[in-house]
Amino acid sequence: MRILAVDDDEMILELLSASLGANGFSDLTTASSAREAATILTNSPEPFDCFLLDIQMPEIDGIELARAIRRSPSYQQSPIIMITAMSQKSYIDRAFAAGATDYVTKPFDPVELGTRIRLAARLVDQNNAIRDNASMVDGLRAQLERERFLDLNEAIGIKEVDGVIELQSLENYLLQLTRSGLFATSIFAFKIEGVENIYAASSPTDFRYLLTDVAEAISTALRSVERFVSYAGNGVFVCVAHGRTLLDLDTVVATANLIVDEMGLTNSRGMPIKCTLRVGSPVRVGLVRAGRGAVDALYVAIDNAEHDPTPAEPNAWGSSSSQFRMA
Amino acid sequence: MIDPVQEQTRNRVVTARVAEIRGRFLDVLESRLVELEAARSDLEEDDGIDHGYRRQLIEAIRFGAHKTTGIAATVGFPELGRLSQVAELAADGHDPARATVPELNRLLHAVDDMLGEMALILIDNDRC
C-alpha cells in the first residue's frame, strides 16, 4: 500500500515511519507541507493508496489538503486519516466534511496507529477489488442493469451531496467525539416509506439517483444546523446534528418531503416515482456514553426509523416528542 | 488472527525506534526551551512593545507548545504533553489588544508550567 504522510514536524514523520514500517507498510512517502505534498502528488508516476495528514500546518492546513485530494478523481475513495494534536470538535467536523475517513489525535500510540492503518488497508483492498472489476462491469453493464446487483440493504456511499458522508465515516466521526462534544448532538433517521416497492420497480441506476436526490433533500432541510447524513441501507438515512437550537423534526421531514415533491422524481423511462419520508424518534446522544455508545445510538436511531409507527397509526409518537431541544 | 510472536517483534521494533526519536526530541527540547523562555520574557515586558510584536510572541509560544504537545507523550513525557496542551490552548485565541491583566497572567502561568517541566526533563536526562 502506497502511503503519503504530511506533517511539518520531522519527528512525527519519523514516528509514522517507525509505526508503519513495523506493521509492514514500508512504502511510505513523506512531505513536510501541503505544497510539497501537492508537488509529490502531481509528479508521482503511481497513485497513492492512503493519506495521513496533519491538520495544523503553516500556510495550507491539512483540511484544505484533504479537500484538494478528494477533488482528484483518482482519490475519491482513498482513505484519508487526519493526525493532529487538536481534538476539538470543530476540527473533527471540518476534517470529515472535507473528506477524511478517520481521525487520530496526537499523542498517538504507534502500535494503535498500526491497527488503524491496517483497517485503512482493508478499505484500499476493497476499493482495488472494485476497480479491478470495473472493466468487467463496464462490459456487462447492460446485462447487470437488468439484474439486481444493488442490494436494498446495502449502505451505499452517496457522493457530492453537501453534508453527506459514508456510514463508516460517520461511525468513525462519532467514535472520536468526546462526551462534551456529544452533549449538543442528536441522532435521528428518515425512512423512505414503501422503499421495497420503489426498489422493486427501479433499475439499480434509477434507485441510486433516487437515493442521491433524497439525500440532497434531507441535507437541505437540515441546512440550519451542523449535520452529517449517511445512507444506512433499506431506504434509511441517518443524521447526526449539532446545536442548541430548537429542531422541529415534524417541520424538517415536511420540508424534506416538499423538496422531494418539487424535484418531480422520475425514473429513466420518465415514469414518476412517488417518494415520501417519515422520521423516527430521535436519540439524545448527550445521555449515552462517548465512544462505542455513540455508535450504538446511531443504530438505535436507524431502528427507530425502521420500526416507529407512522404518525397516522394508533399509539404513534406524537408531534410533541418530535420537537426537542438539542442539548 | 494476530500472531503473538509477530506482535511482540513489531512492538520491539517500534519501541526501539521510539527510543531513538526520544533522544532527538531531547535535543530539540533544549533549543525550544531557550526560544520559548525568550518569548515569554519579552511578553512580560510592559514598555515599548506593540500589539503586533506581542502577537508574534504569542504565536511563537503557541506553535512551540503545539509541536511539543504532538509528540511529548509518545516519546515518554506525558506530563509535558499535558502542560504543553494547556499552554497551547491558553495562547490560542489570546488577543493582546483585548486581553486583561489576569488573562495575560493565566497565559504566563501556563507557559511557566510547561517551561518548568521542560527544564526538569532536561535535568533528569543530563542535558543541563
Q: What is the CATH number of the domain that holds A86?
A: 3.40.50.2300
CATH number at A296 reads: 3.30.70.270
Asked if B14 and A56 come within 8 Å (Cβ–Cβ), the reply is no
Pair (A56, A194) in one structural domain: no
Element spanning A284, H or E: strand A283-284
Query: What's residue A68's pLDDT?
Result: 93
More reliable by pLDDT, A152 or A269:
A152
Is residue B32's pLDDT more than 50? yes
Strand pairing category for A80-84 and A185-192: unpaired
Are residues A22 and B14, on separate chains, in Cβ contact within 8 Å? yes
Same domain, A12 and A91: yes
Q: How far apart are the C-alpha atoms of A162 and A140, rounded to whole Å? A: 32
Pair A166, A290 in one domain: yes
For residues A268-273, average pLDDT: 82
Q: Are residues A201 and A298 in the same domain?
A: yes
CA distance A309 to B5: 54
**Is the confidence at residue A260, as pLDDT, over 90?**
yes
Establish if A327 belongs to a structural domain: no
* Among candidate residues A83, A111, A136, the one where a domain is terminated: A136
Domain edge (last residue) among A111, A136, A161: A136
What average pLDDT does range B18-24 have in this prediction? 90
- Mean pLDDT on B65-79: 91
Residues A149 and A212 in one domain: yes
Residue A94's pLDDT is: 87
The beta strands (E) that lie in B8-121 are given as none
A279 inside domain: yes
Are residues B17 and A109, on separate chains, in Cβ contact within 8 Å? no
A87 and A14 within one domain? yes
Which residues of A119-264 form beta strands (DSSP E)? 185-192, 226-233, 236-242, 246-248
Q: Are A191 and A305 in contact (CB under 8 A)?
A: yes
In this predicted model, which residue has the larger pLDDT, A34 or A136?
A: A34
Same domain, A46 and A181: no
Per-residue confidence band for A138, with pLDDT thresholds at 50, 70 and 90: low
Q: What is the pLDDT of residue A33?
A: 94
ipTM: 0.83
Is residue A241 domain-shared with residue A296, that is, in the same domain?
A: yes
Per-residue model confidence (pLDDT) at position A313: 46
Quick one: A61 and A207 in the same domain?
no
User: Residue A321: inside a domain, yes or no?
Assistant: no
A256 part of a folded domain: yes
- Judge if A147 and A121 occupy the same domain: no
- A183 with A278, same domain? yes
Q: Which residues of A touch B76 (CB under 8 A)?
A: none
Tell me the residues of B at the A interface, defined by beta carbons under 8 Å apart: 10-11, 13-14, 17-18, 21, 24-25, 28, 66-67, 69-75, 78, 81, 85, 88
In a domain, A153, yes or no: yes
Mean pLDDT value across residues A23-45: 92
Q: What percent of chain B has pLDDT over 70?
A: 95
Grade residue A121 by pLDDT with cuts at 50, 70 and 90.
confident
Instruction: Kindly indicate the confidence band of residue A311, based on its pLDDT and cuts at 50, 70 and 90.
Output: low
Helices and strands of chain A, counted as H and E runs:
13, 12
Structural domain includes residue A182: yes
Range of the domain at A57: 3-136
**Do A24 and A154 belong together in one domain?**
no
Q: Which residues of A touch B21 (CB under 8 A)?
A: 11, 14-15, 18
Task: Report CB contact under 8 Å: B66, A85.
Answer: yes
B107/A127: higher pLDDT = B107
Contacts A112 to B, Cβ<8 Å: none
For residue range A86-119, list pLDDT tens digits in order.
556 678 888 988 999 888 888 888 777 887 888 8
How confident is the model over A292-299, as a mean pLDDT? 86
Last residue of a domain, one of A136, A171, A199: A136
- What is the tally of structural domains in chain A? 2
- Distance, in Å, from the CA atom of B5 to the CA atom of B87, rounded to the nearest integer, reads 41
